[in-house]
Chains A and B, each alone.
Chain A
Amino acid sequence: MSSIYTDMNDPLNEHIDPELLVRFLSEDADEQEKNRVQQWINADNRNKEYVDEMIMLWESGKNAKDFTLINTKEDWGKVKRKIIDKDKIKKVSQVSRRKHFIYKLARVAAVVTILLSAYYYWPFLTTYLNDTTTIVAVENQLQTTLPDGSQVYLNKNAQLTFPKSFADKSREVELVGEAFFEVKENANKPFLIRSEKAITEVVGTSFNVNSSVVDSVVVTVLTGMVFLYETNQRTEKIELMPGEQGQLIKGKGLLKSINDDVNFLSWKTGELVFHNTSIKKVIDDLNRHYHQNIELDASLRKEYTLTAKFKQQDLEEVLTEMKLVLPIQIQKEQNRIIISAEI
Protein backbone atom coordinates (compact mmCIF):
# COMPACT_ATOMS: atom_id res chain seq x y z
CA MET A 1 0.00 0.00 0.00
CA SER A 2 2.92 2.32 0.47
CA SER A 3 4.33 1.80 -2.97
CA ILE A 4 1.92 4.22 -4.57
CA TYR A 5 3.43 6.98 -2.47
CA THR A 6 6.79 7.15 -4.20
CA ASP A 7 7.49 10.61 -5.53
CA MET A 8 7.15 9.62 -9.18
CA ASN A 9 3.58 8.49 -9.18
CA ASP A 10 2.02 10.18 -6.23
CA PRO A 11 -0.55 12.67 -7.45
CA LEU A 12 -1.51 13.59 -3.90
CA ASN A 13 1.92 15.02 -3.24
CA GLU A 14 1.10 17.88 -5.57
CA HIS A 15 -1.74 18.84 -3.35
CA ILE A 16 0.33 19.59 -0.33
CA ASP A 17 3.16 22.06 -0.26
CA PRO A 18 6.23 20.08 1.00
CA GLU A 19 7.46 23.16 2.90
CA LEU A 20 4.08 23.44 4.59
CA LEU A 21 4.43 19.84 5.76
CA VAL A 22 7.92 20.63 7.13
CA ARG A 23 6.49 23.63 9.01
CA PHE A 24 3.75 21.35 10.34
CA LEU A 25 6.30 18.79 11.55
CA SER A 26 8.61 21.47 12.96
CA GLU A 27 5.68 22.98 14.86
CA ASP A 28 6.22 26.24 13.02
CA ALA A 29 2.83 26.20 11.30
CA ASP A 30 0.23 28.78 12.35
CA GLU A 31 -3.42 27.88 13.00
CA GLN A 32 -4.47 28.45 9.41
CA GLU A 33 -1.66 26.24 8.10
CA LYS A 34 -2.44 23.52 10.61
CA ASN A 35 -6.04 23.49 9.42
CA ARG A 36 -4.93 23.17 5.83
CA VAL A 37 -2.79 20.13 6.67
CA GLN A 38 -5.61 18.63 8.72
CA GLN A 39 -8.04 19.07 5.84
CA TRP A 40 -5.61 17.39 3.50
CA ILE A 41 -5.21 14.49 5.93
CA ASN A 42 -8.96 14.09 6.24
CA ALA A 43 -9.51 14.19 2.49
CA ASP A 44 -8.12 10.73 1.85
CA ASN A 45 -6.99 7.85 4.02
CA ARG A 46 -3.82 7.57 1.94
CA ASN A 47 -2.98 11.14 2.85
CA LYS A 48 -3.28 10.19 6.49
CA GLU A 49 -0.95 7.21 5.99
CA TYR A 50 1.53 9.47 4.24
CA VAL A 51 1.58 11.97 7.09
CA ASP A 52 1.80 9.18 9.67
CA GLU A 53 4.88 7.87 7.89
CA MET A 54 6.38 11.36 7.80
CA ILE A 55 5.76 11.77 11.53
CA MET A 56 7.41 8.41 12.10
CA LEU A 57 10.42 9.49 10.02
CA TRP A 58 10.51 12.79 11.86
CA GLU A 59 10.58 11.17 15.32
CA SER A 60 12.94 8.37 14.35
CA GLY A 61 15.21 10.96 12.70
CA LYS A 62 15.51 12.65 16.06
CA ASN A 63 16.28 9.36 17.84
CA ALA A 64 18.93 8.52 15.23
CA LYS A 65 21.08 11.12 16.98
CA ASP A 66 22.11 8.40 19.45
CA PHE A 67 24.20 6.82 16.70
CA THR A 68 26.45 9.89 16.76
CA LEU A 69 27.17 9.14 20.42
CA ILE A 70 28.41 5.59 19.88
CA ASN A 71 32.12 5.21 19.23
CA THR A 72 32.30 1.72 17.77
CA LYS A 73 36.05 1.81 17.26
CA GLU A 74 36.80 2.85 20.81
CA ASP A 75 34.36 0.35 22.31
CA TRP A 76 35.81 -2.43 20.16
CA GLY A 77 39.14 -1.67 21.81
CA LYS A 78 37.60 -2.32 25.22
CA VAL A 79 35.99 -5.57 24.12
CA LYS A 80 39.13 -6.75 22.37
CA ARG A 81 41.23 -6.18 25.45
CA LYS A 82 38.79 -8.18 27.55
CA ILE A 83 38.51 -11.14 25.21
CA ILE A 84 42.24 -11.42 24.70
CA ASP A 85 42.94 -11.30 28.43
CA LYS A 86 40.21 -13.79 29.21
CA ASP A 87 41.53 -16.11 26.56
CA LYS A 88 45.00 -16.07 28.02
CA ILE A 89 43.78 -16.69 31.54
CA LYS A 90 41.52 -19.44 30.34
CA LYS A 91 44.37 -21.21 28.58
CA VAL A 92 46.66 -20.83 31.56
CA SER A 93 44.12 -22.10 34.05
CA GLN A 94 43.27 -25.05 31.85
CA VAL A 95 46.80 -26.41 31.79
CA SER A 96 47.59 -25.63 35.38
CA ARG A 97 44.82 -27.37 37.20
CA ARG A 98 47.04 -30.10 38.53
CA LYS A 99 50.09 -27.92 39.12
CA HIS A 100 50.70 -24.80 41.10
CA PHE A 101 47.95 -22.55 39.95
CA ILE A 102 49.54 -19.33 41.08
CA TYR A 103 52.88 -19.98 39.51
CA LYS A 104 51.31 -20.90 36.23
CA LEU A 105 49.64 -17.53 36.18
CA ALA A 106 53.15 -16.17 35.95
CA ARG A 107 52.91 -16.68 32.22
CA VAL A 108 50.26 -14.05 32.00
CA ALA A 109 51.55 -10.56 31.47
CA ALA A 110 50.00 -8.11 33.87
CA VAL A 111 49.93 -4.36 33.98
CA VAL A 112 49.44 -2.97 37.41
CA THR A 113 49.33 0.47 38.87
CA ILE A 114 50.19 0.85 42.45
CA LEU A 115 49.84 4.10 44.26
CA LEU A 116 52.05 3.98 47.27
CA SER A 117 51.40 6.66 49.76
CA ALA A 118 54.09 9.17 50.43
CA TYR A 119 52.84 8.82 53.96
CA TYR A 120 54.14 5.30 53.93
CA TYR A 121 57.60 6.34 52.99
CA TRP A 122 59.58 3.90 55.00
CA PRO A 123 63.15 2.81 55.67
CA PHE A 124 64.50 0.23 53.35
CA LEU A 125 64.27 -3.40 54.24
CA THR A 126 67.16 -4.81 56.16
CA THR A 127 67.50 -7.48 53.50
CA TYR A 128 68.64 -4.79 51.15
CA LEU A 129 71.07 -3.19 53.50
CA ASN A 130 74.06 -4.81 51.93
CA ASP A 131 74.23 -5.04 48.20
CA THR A 132 71.46 -2.76 47.04
CA THR A 133 71.11 -0.05 44.46
CA THR A 134 68.79 2.92 44.81
CA ILE A 135 67.91 5.03 41.82
CA VAL A 136 65.95 8.26 41.87
CA ALA A 137 64.36 10.01 38.91
CA VAL A 138 64.86 13.61 39.94
CA GLU A 139 64.10 15.81 36.95
CA ASN A 140 62.96 13.45 34.23
CA GLN A 141 61.61 9.99 33.67
CA LEU A 142 64.20 7.26 33.85
CA GLN A 143 64.53 3.73 32.54
CA THR A 144 66.58 0.96 34.11
CA THR A 145 67.16 -2.76 33.83
CA LEU A 146 66.96 -5.01 36.89
CA PRO A 147 69.41 -7.93 37.53
CA ASP A 148 66.90 -10.43 36.10
CA GLY A 149 66.48 -8.43 32.88
CA SER A 150 63.19 -6.83 33.89
CA GLN A 151 62.65 -3.24 32.73
CA VAL A 152 61.53 -0.39 34.97
CA TYR A 153 60.39 3.07 33.87
CA LEU A 154 60.42 5.57 36.72
CA ASN A 155 58.21 8.62 36.63
CA LYS A 156 59.50 11.96 37.89
CA ASN A 157 60.32 11.89 41.63
CA ALA A 158 60.16 8.11 41.88
CA GLN A 159 62.70 6.08 43.78
CA LEU A 160 63.47 2.39 43.40
CA THR A 161 65.65 0.13 45.53
CA PHE A 162 66.69 -3.35 44.44
CA PRO A 163 69.50 -5.85 45.23
CA LYS A 164 72.52 -6.32 42.98
CA SER A 165 71.34 -9.89 42.57
CA PHE A 166 67.97 -11.28 43.54
CA ALA A 167 67.49 -13.92 46.26
CA ASP A 168 66.82 -17.57 45.38
CA LYS A 169 63.12 -17.69 46.21
CA SER A 170 61.80 -14.32 45.18
CA ARG A 171 62.54 -10.99 43.54
CA GLU A 172 61.81 -8.13 45.90
CA VAL A 173 61.98 -4.41 45.20
CA GLU A 174 60.83 -1.27 46.94
CA LEU A 175 59.35 1.71 45.27
CA VAL A 176 58.38 5.20 46.31
CA GLY A 177 56.66 7.23 43.61
CA GLU A 178 55.37 5.96 40.31
CA ALA A 179 56.93 3.41 37.98
CA PHE A 180 56.05 1.01 35.20
CA PHE A 181 57.53 -2.49 35.32
CA GLU A 182 58.04 -5.09 32.61
CA VAL A 183 59.05 -8.13 34.56
CA LYS A 184 60.80 -11.12 33.01
CA GLU A 185 58.91 -14.33 33.42
CA ASN A 186 60.20 -16.64 36.11
CA ALA A 187 57.66 -19.02 37.61
CA ASN A 188 60.01 -20.01 40.42
CA LYS A 189 60.69 -16.49 41.61
CA PRO A 190 57.62 -14.32 42.23
CA PHE A 191 58.11 -10.60 41.92
CA LEU A 192 57.17 -8.59 45.01
CA ILE A 193 56.78 -4.84 45.30
CA ARG A 194 56.87 -3.76 48.88
CA SER A 195 55.57 -0.80 50.77
CA GLU A 196 55.14 -0.37 54.48
CA LYS A 197 51.59 -1.67 54.52
CA ALA A 198 51.11 -3.63 51.34
CA ILE A 199 52.79 -6.15 49.12
CA THR A 200 51.88 -6.63 45.50
CA GLU A 201 52.73 -10.00 44.11
CA VAL A 202 53.11 -10.69 40.42
CA VAL A 203 55.07 -13.39 38.73
CA GLY A 204 56.42 -12.42 35.34
CA THR A 205 54.44 -9.42 34.34
CA SER A 206 54.32 -5.67 33.82
CA PHE A 207 52.90 -3.07 36.16
CA ASN A 208 52.89 0.55 37.20
CA VAL A 209 53.55 1.96 40.67
CA ASN A 210 52.86 5.44 42.05
CA SER A 211 53.07 7.33 45.35
CA SER A 212 51.09 10.51 45.16
CA VAL A 213 47.92 9.74 47.09
CA VAL A 214 48.28 10.13 50.82
CA ASP A 215 47.27 7.22 53.03
CA SER A 216 46.45 4.64 50.41
CA VAL A 217 47.90 2.03 48.12
CA VAL A 218 46.20 1.43 44.80
CA VAL A 219 46.87 -1.43 42.41
CA THR A 220 45.28 -1.43 38.97
CA VAL A 221 45.43 -4.45 36.72
CA LEU A 222 45.25 -4.14 32.96
CA THR A 223 46.05 -7.69 31.94
CA GLY A 224 46.85 -10.83 33.84
CA MET A 225 46.35 -11.41 37.53
CA VAL A 226 47.85 -9.94 40.65
CA PHE A 227 47.60 -10.39 44.40
CA LEU A 228 47.55 -7.58 46.91
CA TYR A 229 47.93 -8.09 50.64
CA GLU A 230 48.91 -6.32 53.80
CA THR A 231 52.51 -6.72 54.81
CA ASN A 232 51.70 -8.25 58.17
CA GLN A 233 48.74 -10.33 57.11
CA ARG A 234 49.47 -12.55 54.18
CA THR A 235 46.33 -14.52 54.90
CA GLU A 236 44.06 -11.73 53.84
CA LYS A 237 44.73 -10.97 50.22
CA ILE A 238 42.74 -9.89 47.22
CA GLU A 239 43.02 -11.29 43.78
CA LEU A 240 42.84 -8.75 40.96
CA MET A 241 41.75 -9.47 37.43
CA PRO A 242 42.01 -7.27 34.32
CA GLY A 243 40.28 -3.94 34.72
CA GLU A 244 40.07 -4.30 38.48
CA GLN A 245 41.64 -2.09 41.05
CA GLY A 246 42.68 -3.03 44.55
CA GLN A 247 43.13 -0.46 47.28
CA LEU A 248 44.57 -0.59 50.73
CA ILE A 249 43.26 2.40 52.62
CA LYS A 250 44.52 3.15 56.08
CA GLY A 251 41.92 2.08 58.60
CA LYS A 252 39.66 0.51 56.00
CA GLY A 253 41.65 -2.45 54.80
CA LEU A 254 41.56 -3.97 51.35
CA LEU A 255 38.95 -2.90 48.83
CA LYS A 256 38.30 -4.01 45.30
CA SER A 257 36.75 -1.88 42.56
CA ILE A 258 36.76 -1.36 38.80
CA ASN A 259 39.29 0.99 37.26
CA ASP A 260 37.49 3.59 35.15
CA ASP A 261 40.42 5.93 34.59
CA VAL A 262 41.67 5.56 31.04
CA ASN A 263 44.52 7.97 31.66
CA PHE A 264 46.23 6.25 34.56
CA LEU A 265 49.20 5.33 32.38
CA SER A 266 49.37 8.68 30.60
CA TRP A 267 52.66 9.60 32.23
CA LYS A 268 54.29 6.71 30.38
CA THR A 269 52.35 6.66 27.11
CA GLY A 270 52.26 10.44 26.78
CA GLU A 271 48.66 10.06 25.68
CA LEU A 272 45.62 11.67 27.26
CA VAL A 273 42.19 10.58 26.12
CA PHE A 274 38.94 12.32 26.96
CA HIS A 275 35.52 11.14 25.88
CA ASN A 276 32.67 13.29 27.10
CA THR A 277 34.82 13.78 30.16
CA SER A 278 33.74 16.33 32.74
CA ILE A 279 35.87 19.47 32.84
CA LYS A 280 36.79 18.69 36.44
CA LYS A 281 38.21 15.28 35.61
CA VAL A 282 40.05 16.79 32.61
CA ILE A 283 41.75 19.31 34.88
CA ASP A 284 42.60 16.62 37.45
CA ASP A 285 44.25 14.54 34.73
CA LEU A 286 46.13 17.56 33.30
CA ASN A 287 47.42 18.48 36.75
CA ARG A 288 48.65 14.97 37.35
CA HIS A 289 50.12 14.56 33.87
CA TYR A 290 51.89 17.91 33.65
CA HIS A 291 52.58 18.37 37.38
CA GLN A 292 50.74 21.68 37.26
CA ASN A 293 48.37 23.60 39.43
CA ILE A 294 45.38 24.37 37.21
CA GLU A 295 42.25 25.60 38.96
CA LEU A 296 38.67 25.97 37.82
CA ASP A 297 37.09 29.31 38.49
CA ALA A 298 33.61 29.30 40.06
CA SER A 299 32.29 31.13 36.99
CA LEU A 300 32.76 28.01 34.88
CA ARG A 301 29.79 25.74 34.32
CA LYS A 302 30.55 22.31 35.72
CA GLU A 303 28.61 20.41 33.07
CA TYR A 304 31.12 21.21 30.32
CA THR A 305 32.69 18.10 28.86
CA LEU A 306 35.61 17.47 26.55
CA THR A 307 36.17 14.86 23.87
CA ALA A 308 39.74 14.94 22.62
CA LYS A 309 42.97 12.99 22.34
CA PHE A 310 46.36 14.50 23.06
CA LYS A 311 49.51 12.66 22.20
CA GLN A 312 52.90 13.92 23.38
CA GLN A 313 51.64 17.50 23.38
CA ASP A 314 52.79 20.20 25.73
CA LEU A 315 50.34 21.86 28.08
CA GLU A 316 50.29 25.06 26.07
CA GLU A 317 48.95 23.23 23.01
CA VAL A 318 46.40 21.32 25.05
CA LEU A 319 45.02 24.49 26.61
CA THR A 320 44.87 26.21 23.22
CA GLU A 321 42.87 23.31 21.81
CA MET A 322 40.51 23.34 24.78
CA LYS A 323 39.93 27.03 24.22
CA LEU A 324 38.86 26.33 20.67
CA VAL A 325 36.09 23.94 21.67
CA LEU A 326 34.99 25.32 25.03
CA PRO A 327 33.91 28.87 25.97
CA ILE A 328 36.75 29.35 28.41
CA GLN A 329 39.57 31.77 29.05
CA ILE A 330 42.92 30.98 30.53
CA GLN A 331 44.81 33.15 32.92
CA LYS A 332 48.33 32.44 34.07
CA GLU A 333 49.55 33.46 37.48
CA GLN A 334 52.83 32.77 39.18
CA ASN A 335 52.15 29.32 40.56
CA ARG A 336 48.84 28.45 39.01
CA ILE A 337 46.71 28.57 35.92
CA ILE A 338 43.08 29.61 36.25
CA ILE A 339 40.38 28.55 33.83
CA SER A 340 37.27 30.68 33.89
CA ALA A 341 34.19 31.30 31.75
CA GLU A 342 34.69 33.31 28.60
CA ILE A 343 33.36 36.82 28.94
Chain B
Amino acid sequence: MNKADILLFNLIRDGDVSAFEKLFNAYYPLLCIYAKKKVGDLDEARDIVQDVFVKVYHDRDKLAIDTSIKAYLYKAVHNASLNRIKQIKIHKYHHEYIKNQTPFSEDQDTMIKAELEEKIWQIIQSLPDKCRRIFEMNRFEGKKNKEIAENLGISIRTVETQISKALKILRKHLPSFLLTLLTLYIAV
Protein backbone atom coordinates (compact mmCIF):
# COMPACT_ATOMS: atom_id res chain seq x y z
CA MET B 1 0.00 0.00 0.00
CA ASN B 2 1.14 3.54 -0.61
CA LYS B 3 1.36 6.10 2.16
CA ALA B 4 -1.99 7.77 1.47
CA ASP B 5 -3.71 4.37 1.43
CA ILE B 6 -2.14 3.38 4.74
CA LEU B 7 -3.19 6.65 6.40
CA LEU B 8 -6.73 6.39 5.10
CA PHE B 9 -7.10 2.76 5.99
CA ASN B 10 -5.80 3.29 9.51
CA LEU B 11 -8.55 5.86 10.04
CA ILE B 12 -11.13 3.44 8.67
CA ARG B 13 -9.83 0.68 10.97
CA ASP B 14 -10.45 3.01 13.91
CA GLY B 15 -14.06 3.31 12.80
CA ASP B 16 -13.80 6.76 11.20
CA VAL B 17 -16.93 6.84 9.04
CA SER B 18 -16.00 10.08 7.29
CA ALA B 19 -12.71 8.51 6.14
CA PHE B 20 -14.73 5.61 4.81
CA GLU B 21 -17.05 8.07 3.04
CA LYS B 22 -13.99 9.54 1.28
CA LEU B 23 -13.02 6.11 0.06
CA PHE B 24 -16.60 5.50 -1.08
CA ASN B 25 -16.84 8.79 -2.98
CA ALA B 26 -13.51 8.19 -4.67
CA TYR B 27 -14.24 4.73 -6.04
CA TYR B 28 -17.97 4.07 -5.97
CA PRO B 29 -18.94 5.41 -9.44
CA LEU B 30 -15.94 3.76 -11.10
CA LEU B 31 -16.61 0.40 -9.47
CA CYS B 32 -20.29 0.58 -10.44
CA ILE B 33 -19.32 1.02 -14.09
CA TYR B 34 -16.84 -1.84 -13.79
CA ALA B 35 -19.46 -4.14 -12.25
CA LYS B 36 -22.03 -3.10 -14.86
CA LYS B 37 -19.70 -4.29 -17.58
CA LYS B 38 -19.76 -7.69 -15.92
CA VAL B 39 -23.38 -8.13 -14.90
CA GLY B 40 -24.94 -6.01 -17.64
CA ASP B 41 -27.29 -4.04 -15.42
CA LEU B 42 -26.48 -0.80 -13.60
CA ASP B 43 -28.91 -1.22 -10.70
CA GLU B 44 -27.60 -4.72 -10.08
CA ALA B 45 -24.07 -3.32 -10.27
CA ARG B 46 -24.86 -0.61 -7.70
CA ASP B 47 -26.20 -3.22 -5.27
CA ILE B 48 -23.10 -5.35 -5.70
CA VAL B 49 -20.73 -2.46 -5.09
CA GLN B 50 -22.70 -1.23 -2.06
CA ASP B 51 -22.53 -4.72 -0.57
CA VAL B 52 -18.79 -4.82 -1.17
CA PHE B 53 -18.33 -1.52 0.69
CA VAL B 54 -20.49 -2.69 3.58
CA LYS B 55 -18.44 -5.87 3.80
CA VAL B 56 -15.12 -4.03 3.60
CA TYR B 57 -16.17 -1.79 6.47
CA HIS B 58 -17.45 -4.68 8.48
CA ASP B 59 -14.26 -6.72 8.00
CA ARG B 60 -11.91 -3.73 8.29
CA ASP B 61 -10.01 -5.30 11.20
CA LYS B 62 -9.30 -8.49 9.32
CA LEU B 63 -8.52 -7.21 5.83
CA ALA B 64 -5.07 -7.91 4.50
CA ILE B 65 -4.49 -5.48 1.68
CA ASP B 66 -1.15 -6.12 0.06
CA THR B 67 -1.44 -4.08 -3.13
CA SER B 68 -3.56 -0.92 -3.00
CA ILE B 69 -7.04 -0.24 -1.68
CA LYS B 70 -8.21 0.37 -5.24
CA ALA B 71 -6.81 -2.94 -6.51
CA TYR B 72 -8.39 -4.69 -3.55
CA LEU B 73 -11.78 -3.12 -4.25
CA TYR B 74 -11.56 -4.03 -7.94
CA LYS B 75 -10.89 -7.63 -7.04
CA ALA B 76 -13.68 -7.73 -4.45
CA VAL B 77 -16.17 -6.31 -6.97
CA HIS B 78 -14.95 -8.75 -9.61
CA ASN B 79 -15.56 -11.71 -7.30
CA ALA B 80 -18.90 -10.40 -6.06
CA SER B 81 -20.04 -9.89 -9.66
CA LEU B 82 -19.12 -13.45 -10.60
CA ASN B 83 -20.99 -14.74 -7.57
CA ARG B 84 -24.04 -12.73 -8.52
CA ILE B 85 -23.96 -14.06 -12.05
CA LYS B 86 -23.72 -17.59 -10.71
CA GLN B 87 -26.74 -16.93 -8.51
CA ILE B 88 -28.79 -15.70 -11.42
CA LYS B 89 -28.69 -18.85 -13.44
CA ILE B 90 -31.55 -17.86 -15.62
CA HIS B 91 -31.13 -18.34 -19.31
CA LYS B 92 -30.68 -14.77 -20.41
CA TYR B 93 -27.54 -14.44 -18.35
CA HIS B 94 -26.04 -17.66 -19.60
CA HIS B 95 -24.09 -15.95 -22.32
CA GLU B 96 -22.63 -13.35 -19.97
CA TYR B 97 -21.78 -16.05 -17.50
CA ILE B 98 -19.56 -17.81 -19.98
CA LYS B 99 -18.04 -14.54 -21.07
CA ASN B 100 -17.38 -13.31 -17.57
CA GLN B 101 -15.63 -16.27 -16.09
CA THR B 102 -12.38 -14.53 -16.87
CA PRO B 103 -10.00 -14.74 -13.92
CA PHE B 104 -9.32 -11.38 -12.32
CA SER B 105 -5.69 -11.34 -13.40
CA GLU B 106 -6.74 -11.40 -17.05
CA ASP B 107 -9.48 -8.85 -16.71
CA GLN B 108 -7.41 -5.70 -17.26
CA ASP B 109 -9.35 -4.47 -20.26
CA THR B 110 -12.64 -4.12 -18.36
CA MET B 111 -10.84 -2.11 -15.71
CA ILE B 112 -9.13 0.11 -18.25
CA LYS B 113 -12.40 0.73 -20.07
CA ALA B 114 -14.09 1.74 -16.83
CA GLU B 115 -11.20 4.06 -15.95
CA LEU B 116 -11.26 5.65 -19.40
CA GLU B 117 -15.00 6.24 -19.22
CA GLU B 118 -14.64 7.84 -15.79
CA LYS B 119 -11.94 10.19 -17.10
CA ILE B 120 -14.09 11.06 -20.11
CA TRP B 121 -17.02 11.76 -17.83
CA GLN B 122 -14.88 14.06 -15.68
CA ILE B 123 -13.50 15.93 -18.67
CA ILE B 124 -16.97 16.34 -20.19
CA GLN B 125 -18.05 18.07 -16.96
CA SER B 126 -15.33 20.66 -17.43
CA LEU B 127 -16.02 21.43 -21.10
CA PRO B 128 -17.34 24.90 -21.99
CA ASP B 129 -21.14 24.92 -21.53
CA LYS B 130 -22.19 25.01 -25.16
CA CYS B 131 -19.64 22.42 -26.18
CA ARG B 132 -20.64 20.12 -23.31
CA ARG B 133 -24.34 20.48 -24.01
CA ILE B 134 -23.93 19.61 -27.69
CA PHE B 135 -21.62 16.69 -26.99
CA GLU B 136 -24.04 15.30 -24.38
CA MET B 137 -27.02 15.69 -26.70
CA ASN B 138 -25.21 13.61 -29.29
CA ARG B 139 -23.55 11.00 -27.07
CA PHE B 140 -25.85 10.73 -24.03
CA GLU B 141 -29.21 11.51 -25.57
CA GLY B 142 -28.54 9.83 -28.91
CA LYS B 143 -29.66 12.82 -30.96
CA LYS B 144 -28.62 13.31 -34.59
CA ASN B 145 -26.57 16.43 -35.31
CA LYS B 146 -29.35 17.77 -37.51
CA GLU B 147 -31.79 17.44 -34.61
CA ILE B 148 -29.38 19.18 -32.24
CA ALA B 149 -28.94 22.05 -34.72
CA GLU B 150 -32.72 22.47 -34.98
CA ASN B 151 -33.24 22.27 -31.21
CA LEU B 152 -30.62 24.90 -30.50
CA GLY B 153 -31.29 27.05 -33.57
CA ILE B 154 -27.73 26.80 -34.89
CA SER B 155 -26.17 25.38 -38.06
CA ILE B 156 -25.18 21.74 -38.42
CA ARG B 157 -21.68 22.92 -39.15
CA THR B 158 -21.53 24.62 -35.73
CA VAL B 159 -22.72 21.42 -34.06
CA GLU B 160 -19.99 19.48 -35.84
CA THR B 161 -17.36 22.06 -34.91
CA GLN B 162 -18.35 21.92 -31.22
CA ILE B 163 -18.26 18.11 -31.19
CA SER B 164 -14.89 18.13 -32.85
CA LYS B 165 -13.70 20.62 -30.23
CA ALA B 166 -14.94 18.30 -27.46
CA LEU B 167 -13.11 15.34 -29.00
CA LYS B 168 -9.90 17.32 -29.28
CA ILE B 169 -10.08 18.41 -25.63
CA LEU B 170 -10.82 14.84 -24.54
CA ARG B 171 -7.89 13.45 -26.48
CA LYS B 172 -5.55 16.12 -25.19
CA HIS B 173 -6.42 15.39 -21.56
CA LEU B 174 -6.49 11.63 -21.66
CA PRO B 175 -3.35 9.69 -20.96
CA SER B 176 -2.27 8.44 -24.35
CA PHE B 177 -1.41 5.00 -22.98
CA LEU B 178 -5.08 4.43 -22.15
CA LEU B 179 -6.15 5.01 -25.71
CA THR B 180 -3.28 3.00 -27.09
CA LEU B 181 -3.99 0.07 -24.82
CA LEU B 182 -7.64 0.14 -25.70
CA THR B 183 -7.13 0.30 -29.42
CA LEU B 184 -4.93 -2.77 -28.99
CA TYR B 185 -7.67 -4.56 -27.09
CA ILE B 186 -10.23 -3.62 -29.68
CA ALA B 187 -8.00 -5.03 -32.37
CA VAL B 188 -7.85 -8.41 -30.62
B-facing residues in A22-42 (Cβ within 8 Å): 22-23, 26, 28
CB < 8 Å neighbour of A70 from B42, B145, B183: B42
Which residue from chain B places its CB closest to the CB of A23 in the assembled complex? B160
CB < 8 Å neighbour of A19 from B50, B120, B164: B164
Q: Are A78 and B183 in contact (CB under 8 A)?
A: no
B-facing residues in A1-48 (Cβ within 8 Å): 1-3, 5-7, 18-19, 21-23, 26, 28
Which residue from chain A places its CB closest to the CB of B138 in the assembled complex? A26
Q: Are A68 and B140 in contact (CB under 8 A)?
A: yes
B45-70 contact mask (Cβ, 8 Å, vs A): 1 or 0:
01000100110011000000000000
Contact A65:B50 (CB < 8 A) given known A57-B167, A76-B21, A84-B17: no
Interface size on B, residues (CB 8 A): 51
Contacts of B15 in A (CB 8 A): 87
In the assembled complex, how far is the CB of residue B18 from the closest CB belonging to chain A, in whole angstroms? 10
B163 at the interface (CB under 8 A from A): yes
Which residue from chain B places its CB closest to the CB of A52 in the assembled complex? B183
Which residue from chain A places its CB closest to the CB of B26 in the assembled complex? A72
B86 at the interface (CB under 8 A from A): no
Contacts of A70 in B (CB 8 A): 28-29, 32-33, 42, 46
A54 at the interface (CB under 8 A from B): yes
Q: Which residue of B53, B57, B135, B160 has the most chain A CB atoms within 10 A of its CB atom?
A: B160
B73 at the interface (CB under 8 A from A): no
Q: Are A6 and B172 in contact (CB under 8 A)?
A: yes
Q: What is the bound-complex CA distance between A86 and B36, given in angstroms?
A: 27
Q: Are A26 and B144 in contact (CB under 8 A)?
A: yes
A298 at the interface (CB under 8 A from B): no
Q: Which residue of A26, A58, A64, A84 has the most chain B CB atoms within 10 A of its CB atom?
A: A64
Contact A57:B120 (CB < 8 A) given known A2-B180, A22-B167, A28-B145: yes
B152-179 contact mask (Cβ, 8 Å, vs A): 1 or 0:
0000010011011001101110101101
Q: Are B179 and A65 in contact (CB under 8 A)?
A: no
B133 at the interface (CB under 8 A from A): no
Interface size on A, residues (CB 8 A): 43
Q: Are A18 and B164 in contact (CB under 8 A)?
A: yes
In the assembled complex, how far is the CB of residue B40 from the closest CB belonging to chain A, in whole angstroms? 12
A56-78 contact mask (Cβ, 8 Å, vs B): 1 or 0:
11101111111111101001101
Q: What is the bound-complex CA distance between A22 and B167, given in angstroms?
A: 9
B117 at the interface (CB under 8 A from A): yes
Q: What is the bound-complex CA distance between A82 and B20, given in angstroms?
A: 13
A79 at the interface (CB under 8 A from B): yes
Which residue from chain A places its CB closest to the CB of B33 in the assembled complex? A66
B121 at the interface (CB under 8 A from A): yes
Contacts of B188 in A (CB 8 A): none
Q: Are A79 and B140 in contact (CB under 8 A)?
A: no
Which residue from chain A places its CB closest to the CB of B161 in the assembled complex? A19
Contacts of A22 in B (CB 8 A): 145, 160, 163-164, 167
Which residue from chain A places its CB closest to the CB of B46 in the assembled complex? A75
Contacts of B183 in A (CB 8 A): 49, 52-53, 56
Which residue from chain B places its CB closest to the CB of A54 in the assembled complex? B167
A291 at the interface (CB under 8 A from B): no
Top 9 nearest A-B pairs (CB, nearest first) are A2-B176, A18-B164, A19-B160, A67-B121, A64-B121, A65-B140, A52-B183, A22-B160, A83-B57
Interface residues of B (CB under 8 A from A): 15, 17, 20-21, 24-25, 28-29, 32-33, 36, 42, 46, 50, 53-54, 57-58, 113, 116-118, 120-121, 124, 135, 138-140, 144-146, 157, 160-161, 163-164, 167-168, 170-172, 174, 176-177, 179-180, 182-183, 186-187
Interface residues of A (CB under 8 A from B): 1-3, 5-7, 18-19, 21-23, 26, 28, 49, 52-54, 56-58, 60-70, 72, 75-76, 78-80, 82-84, 86-87, 90
Can you identify 10 A-B contacts, CB atoms within 8 angstroms? A19-B164, A49-B183, A57-B174, A63-B117, A65-B139, A66-B32, A75-B46, A76-B25, A79-B53, A83-B53
